[in-house]
Each structure stands twice: as C-alpha cells, then as structure tokens.
Amino acid sequence: MHDAFTTDPDLRHLARLLAMLPGRDDTAFWSTVDTGAKRIVGPDDTSQSASGPEYILSKMQTGITKLNQAKDPATIAYFGHYLLMFFDGDQPALWKYLNDLFPAHGGHSTAGERYARDLCDTAWRIIARYDTKGDNDLAERWPGHP
C-alpha cells in the first residue's frame, strides 16, 4: 500500500464520498450524471468518448478499483479529472437527485450541491497534489530561478 493512502485524509475522504453514491444499477441517477457531463462535451458531440451512462460507469468502476487497490495516487489524480467532468459545475438536476439521497431535516436541502462541491473540491486537491503532469513546467516556464 502506498504511504499516501494511509496518511492523506483527502484520499480517505474521497473513498467515503464515493461510497455515498448510488450503485451502477441506479440508471436514473447515472443518466442524470451523464446529462450533466454532456454540458462539457456537448449533447451532439460524437467525437468525444463521453457518451452515455455506460461510459461514466466504466470510468467510475476503473477509478474506484484503483482507489481500492491503494497503490498509486497518480492514478487517483487521473480519476479526479473524470470526477470533475462528471460532477462539477452548475447542475441543478444532479443536485436535486442527490438532495433526495441525503434528505435534510425540515424538507429543504442543499445537501446535493454540497455533496457535489465537496466531491469536486476533494478531487481537485488530489489532482493538485498527485498529478505528475506538469512536474517540470515551473522550471521550464521560469528558467534560471531556483
């Protein structure tokens, strides 16, 4: 097991957040996620591979498997990019669905939006911490500076 998985609270938090999501058998939920993801690639863009809940479920399954294997935080950072694509941004339909999963006392809930933002904030911190792309960019952009 990679040391980061035992010491990084964001990796543990990400696992807890993902455990709160519906399973792959909840087609209504994953179709809602798919609709939100299409806002990025466009609903008619067939050149992108992000088309349909099966694509999303495939990426989620791979990412969750990698997270459970707890071997390489860089692969979880890569998964983080997909989480941002699927859950980030202004997605009232997704938030409403999530609200129903996490009902608030009194009937009014913003839990869905809070959940999505927490998931994306956590994914972003993991990306910033472990994504190896760009490791040399600072030195290349600022040559001669330590």
Residues 24-43 have pLDDT tens digits of 999 999 999 998 876 554 44
Kindly report the length of the chain: 146
Distance CA 43, CA 51 (A): 8
Q: What pLDDT does residue 61 have?
A: 96
pLDDT, mean of each 10-residue run, the chain (146 residues): 77 96 94 79 48 88 94 93 95 92 75 95 96 75 72
The burial of 4, by beta-carbon neighbours within 10 Å (0-12 exposed, 13-18 middle, 19 or more buried), is given as middle
The total of other beta-carbon atoms located within 10 Å of residue 120's CB is 19
Instruction: Encode 123-138: b = buried (16+ Cβ within 10 Å), e = exposed.
Output: bbbbbebbbeeeeeee
Question: What angle is formed at CA 122 by the lines to CA 25 and CA 61, rounded to 5 degrees?
Answer: 30
Closest to 66 (Cα-Cα) out of 55, 77, 57, 56? 77
Q: What pLDDT does residue 48 have?
A: 46
Q: What pLDDT does residue 125 have?
A: 97
Q: What pLDDT does residue 140 have?
A: 79
Tell me the pTM. 0.82
Please, what is the angle between helix 53-69 and helix 27-41, to 10°? 100
Those residues with Cβ within 8 angstroms of residue 25's Cβ, 6 or more apart along the chain or in another chain: none
